[in-house]
Amino acid sequence: MLLTLTTTHRPATDLGYLLAKHPAHCHERAFGHGRAWLFFPEATEARCTACLLLDIDPIALSRSAARPGAGAGGASSAPLEPYVNDRPYVASSFLSVAIARTLGSALKGRSRERPELAETAIPLEAHLPALPAAGGESFLRDLFEPLGYELEVEPVPLDEAFPCWGPSRLVSLRLHARLRLAELLNHLYVLLPVLDDRKHYWVGEAELDKLLHAGGDWLATHPEREIIARRYLKRDRRMVGEALRQLLAGDDPDSDAEEDPRLAASLARARNGPLAQRRRAAIISTLVDHGSTSVLDIGCGDGRLLQDLLADSRFARIAGTDVSPEVLRVAAKMLHLDECSERQRQRLALFQSSALYRDARYRGFDALVVSEVIEHVDPSLLKTLARMLFGEAQPPLLILTTPNRDYNALYPRLPAGDRRERDHRFEWSRAEFQDWCLPVAAQYGYQVRFEPIGDPHPELGASSQMAIFTRADSRERAPA
């Protein structure tokens, strides 16, 4: 397991002062499951490189993995996995621990001999020759480019002797930037476990403090802060929520929960994200605008929207339903229902049902969400769907989204006339969507308005379209 840090700052040997390590010596430290060495393979006035090398004890690692609830990957269904794996060799949370133990003063931005240099941005390169990149190169760039890095990413072959076997799950990563050394080390300290997504030790309350301390100012403004927090804190919902609250609430400890800026900041990031993320952001923004605190997601699928709703404490009652019990099992796993606290379990319910049948459980919610569902319904059943949703459930607010067929002309690989998904029974143009929604709203005593989701084309509109139905006698606050 290797990390190299290089600078061309003049004199480059000042890197030794920043790391509090003499370039002429080899520095050794024992920790956890092995030992770490720091040495300088080159140290000239023009260029200086420091190498942090870890030697992980595979026997100690396998023993810790075998203990119930232990880190290092935990128990595995593959009997040999604790003994035969790449954990001793690839950059991971082990390397983060080594950075903290071996380069503690540099991580904190301190240099006794060169305090002014510790506060100075200098040219730096970090090389990680074997880095697990869960999420691929695009995720790597999503993590590091917002921090000002230029990236060189090369896939690591599974076996150089047999190139036909293709690439492994690892990449070789070089990061280039001009910044303070402490900033670089803190970025690596946080993001290495995020990329590996398999923290080797138990995550407790102290990890939340570590994340907030190492994240400093950069994490609060990072566009991927939510997934960073989730992976770093091993998806502990309570700690992730607390981390986001502290990151985004500023320094005002008395800020009102109703004024909490978390949602606005998250939505601002989501507006530039993938379409599914933008859709969820638009739905949540609409729910908040109308003051909804209880929400039923009809056709909840794998539970992505439910997950976003759970992350915001303003939604006190959340439910998801789907016709498929298998899909509901996937959603339960996605939402970690078996690990939720009692309070979270009381907030969330999943149940099997169909919007084409009368179901008393649909009533009593502030809002119903029917997102990317209606296009899966046979057109002959649309009247029944409308009667069940608007006539029987009668929510104060109903949000309906569906693809915009007009926009399909911009998909180069989609043949003319084809639908985006094979299981879509139909896809509506903007005019057809309004032609269905407006009479339904009038029939059942609702008002409806339409909004695009995604970047609108001047002639073809946006990729997705949303109808927002509000009951005429509803007391819900209209959006500003």
Report yes or no: 130 and 160 within 8 Å, Cβ to Cβ.
no
Dist. CA 50–CA 457, nearest whole Å: 51
* 149 and 280 part of one domain: no
Same domain, 7 and 83: yes
User: Does 251 fall in a domain?
Assistant: no
Considering the domain architecture, whether residues 186 and 314 belong to the same structural domain is answered as no
Final residue belonging to a domain, choices 156, 176, 202: 202
3: left (phi over 0), alpha (psi -120 to 50) or beta: beta
Token representation of residue 7: 């600078």
| Domain-embedded: residue 145 | yes
Express each pLDDT in 138-166 by its tens digit. Answer: 888 888 998 999 999 988 887 777 777 77
Total Cβ atoms within 10 A of residue 59: 10
Q: Is residue 395 part of a domain?
A: yes
The verdict on residue 216 lying in a domain is no
> Which of 202, 222, 254 is the last residue before a domain boundary?
202
On the CB side of 42, CA atoms within 13 Å amount to 13
Instruction: Quick: pLDDT tens for 189-204.
Output: 999 888 876 665 556 6
Q: 360-417: per-residue pLDDT in tens?
A: 999 999 999 999 999 999 999 999 999 999 999 999 999 999 999 999 888 777 777 7
Do 186 and 284 fall into the same domain? no
Alpha-carbon distance of 203 to 200, in angstroms, equals 9
The total number of structural domains that make up the chain: 2
* Predicted pLDDT at 239: 79
What is the pLDDT, as a whole number, of residue 52? 94
17 domain residue, yes or no: yes
| Whether 90 and 198 share a structural domain | yes
Identify the domain containing residue 338 by its residue range. Answer: 270-471
The DSSP string of 37-100 is EEEEEEE-SS-EEEEEEEEE-HHHHHHHHHSTT-STT---SSTTTTTSSSTTTS-SHHHHHHHH
Of 145, 176, 202, the residue that ends a domain is 202
Query: Which pLDDT belongs to residue 313?
Result: 84
Please identify every stretch of the chain with a pLDDT value under 50, giving residue numbers as ranges. 66-77, 250-273, 475-480
| Judgement on whether residues 25 and 155 belong to the same structural domain of the protein | yes
